[in-house]
């Protein structure tokens, strides 16, 4: 099953709608609530990242019998130093993002913690791609 979502940069009230849709579908598929929670949290963090940092993003979700594979490609400033971005506490978030309760430099490490595989690549000035896999 494949699902696609458009994420608008800066749309703070809409942040989480795509993750919510995916969570709804996973519940219908009778996946364990613990696994669903991990996927929902990772997806939501990734979605918030696009809203917070990029101009726009496309999320592609592939649900197979034994795993879920998610790819989010955004157009935005990209990440200069991925290793630094992965460090807990490092953040370039704006005040607006912090007012939402995010931007503490915990998102990317939390995505890594909740997924079985995570690949992050970026071209500064163009955008960032994150691919994650969670096994059921």
Q: Rule CB under 8 A: say whether 20 interacts with another protein.
A: yes
**What are the tokens at 127?**
């955008």
Q: Rule CB under 8 A: say whether 40 interacts with another protein.
A: yes
Q: Which stretch binds another protein (CB under 8 A): 58-66, 75-83, 98-106, 124-132?
A: 98-106
Q: Rule CB under 8 A: say whether 44 interacts with another protein.
A: yes
Closest-CA residue to 39 (of 58, 23, 51):
23
DSSP, collapsed to helix, strand or coil, labels residue 132 as strand
Q: Rule CB under 8 A: say whether 102 interacts with another protein.
A: yes
Q: Rule CB under 8 A: say whether 34 interacts with another protein.
A: yes
Q: Which stretch binds another protein (CB under 8 A): 1-9, 53-61, 72-80, 101-109?
A: 101-109
Q: Inter-axis angle of helices 107-114 and 33-53, to 10 degrees?
A: 150
**What are the tokens at 117?**
């595989």
**What are the tokens at 43?**
């997806």
Q: Are 134 and 35 in contact (CB under 8 A)?
A: yes
Name the residues that contact another protein, by CB under 8 A. 12-13, 15-16, 19-20, 23, 33-34, 37, 40-41, 43-45, 48, 99-104, 106-107, 110, 113
């Amino acid at each position: 099953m494949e699902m696609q979502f458009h994420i608008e940069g800066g749309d703070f009230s809409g942040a989480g709608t795509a993750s919510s849709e995916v969570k709804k579908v996973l519940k219908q598929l009778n996946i364990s609530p613990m696994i669903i929670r991990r996927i929902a949290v990772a997806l939501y963090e990734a979605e918030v990242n696009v809203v917070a940092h990029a101009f726009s993003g496309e999320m592609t979700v592939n649900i197979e019998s034994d795993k879920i594979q998610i790819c989010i490609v955004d157009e935005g400033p990209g990440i200069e130093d991925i290793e630094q971005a992965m460090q807990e506490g490092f953040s370039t978030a704006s005040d607006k993002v912090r007012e939402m309760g995010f931007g503490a430099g915990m998102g990317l490490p939390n995505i890594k913690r909740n997924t079985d595989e995570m690949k992050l690549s970026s071209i500064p000035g163009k955008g960032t791609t994150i691919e994650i896999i969670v096994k059921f």
